[in-house]
Structure 1
Amino acid sequence: MITISAFQWVPPFAQGVVRDLRVRWALEEAGLPYQVRLIDPQVQASSEYRALQPFGQVPIYQEGNLTLFESGAIVHHIASRSEVLLPTDEEGKARATMWMFAALNSIEIYFQNLAEIDFFYPGQEWGKQHRPDVVKMIQTRLGELATCLGSREYLEDRFTAGDLLMSTVLRILRHTDLLDGYPTLKAYKARCEARPAFQRALASQMEPFQQRQA
């Protein structure tokens, strides 16, 4: 049985975007059963957990003797076992993988910078000064991504793991109105999130948070 780690609780601004969501979604798309190990800050800081994930993050993926960390690497591993997430032809597989890397390397780093300023340093002067430049770079990337997407439903000719990662990256901007200026990207994100596998993954991640708040 596949086991992934996830946080027992996170603040509301992080609920629904913690990176185990990507892995849950990939597993749901691939139809692979899994169980979740919820961890608290004590477990996260433990030597046992750090031996599996040296940076203390989630998720960890465990299956038999295999242990993986980094959500992108885990999604790629899952996708390699599922035609739903990666095409079987070499060209299609390579292009889907390209979009996976683009989501994490060319897009996410800028979105994450904005989230860190807004949620962790909202009142600090350096953040106020730096934020306009970050927003400008995000708008540049959104424009470039919208151009690549064009009128297509997905980044390639069908949904792949590239779309899975890209749409979860776009979720990082949900506390802003930045996507409003790019209607094709907003519709693209909604299209990806309407997939039943995503809805199951999101409900699974949110369940322990909602139970704690009840």
Structure 2
Amino acid sequence: MKDIAVWGFSWVPPFAQGLVRDLRVRWALEEAGLAYQSRWVGIEERNSDAYRRKHPFGMVPVLESADGALTESGAIVCAIAEQCEALMPAGQRLETLSWMFAALNTVEPPLWNLLVMDQQHQGEAWVALRRPSAVDEVKARLAALSECLDGRDHLLGGFTAADILMTTVLRFIRHTDLVAEFPRLDAYVKRCEARPAFRSALRDQMADYVRNEPVAA
């Protein structure tokens, strides 16, 4: 994979900074030692015909390379991992894939639901009724995940692409103390976020937001 460009939003509000899914792709590329360039689309521009030709739903990320274009963060991270033994060890390919999809399909939906409730619908009457059960659903996922990490530093023992996806999913509820209620899980997130590749990816994403921050009227 060469001549890589990663598309993300040019800027997002502070609550979303560090959460947008191009972070997953940047992190995977950093772990794999693959250089890339940032490309940006404004939130207001994402439904333009030009950008919809890159991503039919007007979302990010999109990865463009000499091999073609890929959309959807999970698919992109998987494609990167398949070219990097460290991210998808040959002897653990099926386990890695299983955990990658568990992060996206089982853990992410309830956590994302809570994030949207708290950040986009805060104070609305229906949230007061729905939030307790939403929190219970999140806690059930976190409890099961914590059990799976018993005796392990990472999901498969060593760090893999599955940990990239799972950590970025768990960051969706950083505005709460829910992860901290599970010490094993809290330590796992901190361990993954301490990796130089993550720190570099986050720094570069945040630098893009600073570079493109709207000028106040």
Band of TM-score, shorter chain: over 0.9
Deviation at 1:41, TM superposition (A): 3.0
Deviation at 1:180, TM superposition (A): 1.6
Structure 1: gaps spanning 5 or more residues: none
Q: Letter of the 1:28 partner, please give it.
A: E
Task: Look up the SS of the partner of 2:46 in the other structure.
Answer: helix
For the aligned residue pairs, the C-alpha RMSD in angstroms reads 1.3
TM-score (norm 1): 0.96
1:151–1:184 contact (8 Å) kept in structure 2 = no
How many pairs does the alignment contain? 212
1:13 aligns with 2:28: no
Of 71, 75, 78, the match for 1:76: 78
Deviation at 1:14, TM superposition (A): 0.3
1:63-92 deviation per Cα after TM superposition (whole angstroms, max 9, x unaligned): 125111110000000000001210022xx0
1:86–1:161 contact (8 Å) kept in structure 2 = yes
TM-score (norm 2): 0.94
1:81-131 deviation per Cα after TM superposition (whole angstroms, max 9, x unaligned): 001210022xx0110111000000010000000001001111211122111
Deviation at 1:205, TM superposition (A): 0.3
Work out the percentage of aligned pairs sharing the same amino acid: 48
Deviation at 1:208, TM superposition (A): 2.1
After superposition, residues 109-188 of structure 1 pair within 5 angstroms as 109-188=109-188
Task: Look up the SS of the partner of 1:9 in the other structure.
Answer: coil
Of 32, 35, 39, the match for 1:33: 35
Aligned-partner Cα distance in 1 for 2:173–2:67: 37
Q: Letter of the 1:53 partner, please give it.
A: H
Deviation at 1:43, TM superposition (A): 3.1
Aligned-partner Cα distance in 1 for 2:35–2:180: 36
Quick one: structure 1 residues 72 and 39, their matched pair in 2 at CA, closer, same or farther if it must change by over 3 Å? same
Q: Letter of the 1:40 partner, please give it.
A: G
1:24-56 deviation per Cα after TM superposition (whole angstroms, max 9, x unaligned): 000000011111111113431211111121111
Aligned-partner Cα distance in 1 for 2:137–2:17: 25
Q: Give every structure 1 segment of 4 or more consecutive aligned residues whose post-TM-superposition deviation is greater than 3 Å.
A: none
1:146-175 deviation per Cα after TM superposition (whole angstroms, max 9, x unaligned): 011112101112000011100111111100
